[in-house]
Amino acid sequence: MTSQGQINLLDLDSDALGHYFQEIGERPFRAQQIIKWVHQQGVTDFSAMTNLSKALRDRLLSETEIRAPEIESEQLSDDGTRKWLVRVDGENCVETVFIPEGERGTLCVSSQVGCPLACSFCATARQGFNRNLSVGEIIGQVWLAARQLGQLPKEGRYITNVVMMGMGEPLLNFENVVAAMRLMLDDNAYNLARKRVTLSTAGVVPGIDRLAERCPVSLAISLHATNDELRNVLVPINRKYPLAELLDACRRYANVNPHSEITFEYVMLKGINDTVAEARTLIGLLEGLPAKVNLIPFNPFESAGYERSTDAAIDAFRDKLVSSGLVTITRKTRGDDIDAACGQLVGEVQARALRHRKRVH
């Protein structure tokens, strides 16, 4: 609810909306009507919802609101990538990125204000952590992007894929992220196939198992190292959930979602993790998993402390993986001229004490 006690309808998925309507004596199918108006048509004026009775519209006006985050600024890259700075409260902003490529349009969505995981190669981690985003603040990024891209009223299809790869660790905001993804998948909202919604995690093992039970979308793992010693430095949550436990969770996930490959993301850091020997180790780690590998050339930021691997090193690493039969793609760097590339999102975060970091170390 808002400070005025009004319910933000963007915070409610189909089940929650159905429950609300039952509580006020309305039939549950009203939930589908509201979802269509709000998410497919982008309507925020209750008086325009003509298939609802005037009495219901008046009640919705008094008890509820449709409140999305606000766009603070927009940047357009030379390659067509768009980055929005999205204000979620008086002190904090997150970043949302839209990447067009042919008929495909991928929206990269944030799940937290900042991030508590402190991955050493990631600009977001340097911002600290403030709080989880609400359902409305997560799905609101999709809602805003659709409107900015002219997708509403629903005439075209610009956002074809959503990736939970923006600021934050999605599985540490589990309930809100799942509710938002349910709206992404909802036929009456954004109607995306499960394979077109991807959640990327640094390796929160219990969350992977819960996701398999609750909302088995496409899964991506921020791997970045082939041994625990290095991964403890690059991805500190590995100290709590080491590689063996993480890969076992991936196998369990694959059993629940057998028709979808798991993507393993691997940032290429010069002299750190980019040798052919490490490629051989990675092949062994992923043996038996329905895996594909995304090699991510490191996107530098101020005081990063790392350098991007050379093209020759990236090519040799990729060729070794491909020769073993692993589907491997070197991700094209998009939006780096506006700091919208992987690992560069920073937003504006008024960080609280970073006590959350201690919980995962």
Q: Which residues are known to be catalytic?
A: 95, 342
User: Where is 360: in which H helix or E strand?
Assistant: helix 355-360
Taking CA atoms, 68 is separated from 155, 162, 227, 356, in Å, by: 21, 18, 42, 27
What are the structure tokens assigned to 159, written together?
């956002």
User: Where is 203: in which H helix or E strand?
Assistant: none
What are the structure tokens assigned to 306, written together?
């790392």
Q: Name the residue with tokens 């990675």.
A: 282
Cβ–Cβ under 8 Å, residues 21 and 31: yes
**DSSP E strand stretches across 43-184:** 64-65, 70-76, 82-87, 93-101, 104-108, 112-114, 129-132, 161-164
From the DSSP assignment, how many helices (H) and strands (E) are in the chain? 11, 14
Cβ–Cβ under 8 Å, residues 217 and 272: no
- How many angstroms separate the CA atoms of 219 and 166, rounded? 14
- How many angstroms separate the CA atoms of 324 and 314, rounded? 16
